[in-house]
């Protein structure tokens, strides 16, 4: 399944998809690079975590790119995401696994299921029956979940593939140690009945980004204790997984049989205070950009944006960028968010508005304006990419400016910003008129809407503290 070769106009002032005033360019070669890098470090099979629309990057192109470089599993949090992903893969002619999963026939794991009683679970229109029909791997942590899944499997006349999740210290999802013996016994009974197959045992690490805390070692010990209880109940899961990006990078003992590559796949570090993305050999995937819609001169003392929280210290040139908090820019970026225009690093001034922000273009000292309407403003991207503006901020720069984490910056990007997936040879500038790189699928495609928007390089060779822990 080759990527699209449809040409796209490119220029210093790029044409945007349809009537859009901004875009997020998604570098699929960077995704492939990051996947290969993480797989090399892990040394075991890996899952590409593509929840939340692939961390805001666009589900289809990211999933297919990850598969093209060897991911044998795909992971999403919510069942609705998993069903959409299965439909997308089916439409893209990706095989369902008959045995061991592979990049050509991956398995899909989802772990947040709707709550329902057995009668509702067994109903013909049950989302759990839809999950089983879609050949999804499902997570179970409680007896009521097992009862619902068993009812759905009986009604569907099939066997549910389950991953038993245990709580090893995060106190979020997963079975508590005191509840595990009864749950394991019930799972074994359901296995004997033929309605479930417990194929996996898994958990999450809460402090994998703190390599010396000792927390991960405690998690691993509790996992081993849970493993013993499960074995004593007569269960024999073949897949054991504990480590997401932070675990696979910094805790070799937690890699087990499978690792879950999330934030690292998108070129962001789980914790830059431990190691930056560049130090980890990862490349940022998303570039958020928009042409300036207006440039104006304002006098010294002029207040800018709602509330007049920023005042021009001298006569200034200001630029208007058509992105705001409705597009996912944090309001905390007011008078803080970094932006690059024409090789110069500047910042948002005044409050972030719903649809736009104002940026400072520098002193108006009698000379010509340093930028014009149509000139490209880059909010974040990869300053080291070929042809990129070296002044380009990164998503991590935005995270630091907003006192948050890189995860939040990229995942909150709104749906009205088109994701423009790009496939290009290394060393080529995607916006260069001489570049043979082509967009993948429909230029304005967002999310997982069609196989066309999902076309990734399937023909490629398969081969500071944070407060937030997800798939790292």
Helix axes 28-42, 59-68, angle to 10 degrees: 50
- The two tokens of residue 343 are 């090789």
Active-site residue, from 55, 165, 223, 306: 306
Neighbouring C-beta atoms of residue 176, cutoff 10 Å = 13
Per-residue H/E/C for 308-326: HCEECCCCEEEEEECCCHH
296 assigned to active site: no
Q: Which of 51, 165, 223, 266 is catalytic?
A: 51
DSSP state letter for 257: T
DSSP 407-449: HHHHHT--TTS-EEEEE--TT--TT-TT---EE-S-TT--TT-
Q: Among 133, 134, 179, 177, which Cα is nearest to 156's?
A: 133
Tokens for 416? Answer: 């009205």
Residue 434: half-sphere exposure toward Cβ, Cα within 13 Å = 3
Query: What is the C-alpha to C-alpha distance for residues 135 and 133, in angstroms, rounded to an integer?
Result: 5
Residue 2 parent element (H or E):
none
Tell me 70's DSSP state: T
Give the helix/strand (H/E) hosting 221.
helix 215-232
SS3 content of the chain, % helix, strand, coil (to 5): 30, 20, 50
Would you list the DSSP string of 78-137? EHHHHHHHHHHHHHTTPPPPSSS--SSS-EEEEEE-----HHHHHSTT-HHHHHHHTT-E
User: Closest by alpha carbon to 28, among 77, 68, 1?
Assistant: 68
Q: How far is CA 309 from the centre of its chain?
A: 34
Active site residue 165: no
- The residues that are catalytic are 51, 306
């Amino acid at each position: 399944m080759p990527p699209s070769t449809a040409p796209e106009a490119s220029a210093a002032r790029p044409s945007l998809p349809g009537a859009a005033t901004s875009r997020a360019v998604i570098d699929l070669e960077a995704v492939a690079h990051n996947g290969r890098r993480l797989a090399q470090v892990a040394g075991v099979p890996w899952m590409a975590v593509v929840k939340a629309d692939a961390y805001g990057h666009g589900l289809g192109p990211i999933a297919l790119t990850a598969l093209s470089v060897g991911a044998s599993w795909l992971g999403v949090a919510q069942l609705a995401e998993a069903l959409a992903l299965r439909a997308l893969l089916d439409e893209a002619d990706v095989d369902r696994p008959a045995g061991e999963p592979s990049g050509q026939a991956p398995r899909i794991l989802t772990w947040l299921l709707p709550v329902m009683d057995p009668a509702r679970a067994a109903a013909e229109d049950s989302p759990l029956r839809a999950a089983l029909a879609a050949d999804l791997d499902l997570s179970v942590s409680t007896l009521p979940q097992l009862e619902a899944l068993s009812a759905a499997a009986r009604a569907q006349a099939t066997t549910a593939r389950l991953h038993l999740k245990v709580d090893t210290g995060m106190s979020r999802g997963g079975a508590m140690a005191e509840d595990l013996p009864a749950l394991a016994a019930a799972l074994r009974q359901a296995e004997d009945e033929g309605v479930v197959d417990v194929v996996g045992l898994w958990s999450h690490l809460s402090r994998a980004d703190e390599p010396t805390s000792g927390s991960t070692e405690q998690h691993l010990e509790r996992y081993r204790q849970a493993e013993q209880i499960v074995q004593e109940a007569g269960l024999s899961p073949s897949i054991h997984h504990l480590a997401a990006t932070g675990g696979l990078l910094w805790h070799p003992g937690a890699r087990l049989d499978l690792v879950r590559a999330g934030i690292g796949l998108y070129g962001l570090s789980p914790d830059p205070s431990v190691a930056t993305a560049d130090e980890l050999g990862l490349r940022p995937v998303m570039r958020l950009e928009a042409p300036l819609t207006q440039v104006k001169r304002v006098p010294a003392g002029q207040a800018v944006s709602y509330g007049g929280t920023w005042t021009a210290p001298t006569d200034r040139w200001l630029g208007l960028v058509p992105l705001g908090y409705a597009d996912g820019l944090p309001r905390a970026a007011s008078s803080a968010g970094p932006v690059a225009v024409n090789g110069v690093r500047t910042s948002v001034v005044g409050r972030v508005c719903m649809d736009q922000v104002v940026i400072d273009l520098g002193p108006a000292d009698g000379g010509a304006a340093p930028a014009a309407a149509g000139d490209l403003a880059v909010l974040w991207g990869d300053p080291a990419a070929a042809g990129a503006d070296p002044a380009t901020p990164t998503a991590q720069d935005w995270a630091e400016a907003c006192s948050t984490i890189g995860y939040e910056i990229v995942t909150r990007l709104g749906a009205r910003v088109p994701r423009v997936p790009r496939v290009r040879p290394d060393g080529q500038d995607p916006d260069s008129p001489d570049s043979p790189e082509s967009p993948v699928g429909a230029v304005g495609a967002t999310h997982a809407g069609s196989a066309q928007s999902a076309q990734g390089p399937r023909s490629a060779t398969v081969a500071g503290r944070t407060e937030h822990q997800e798939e790292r």
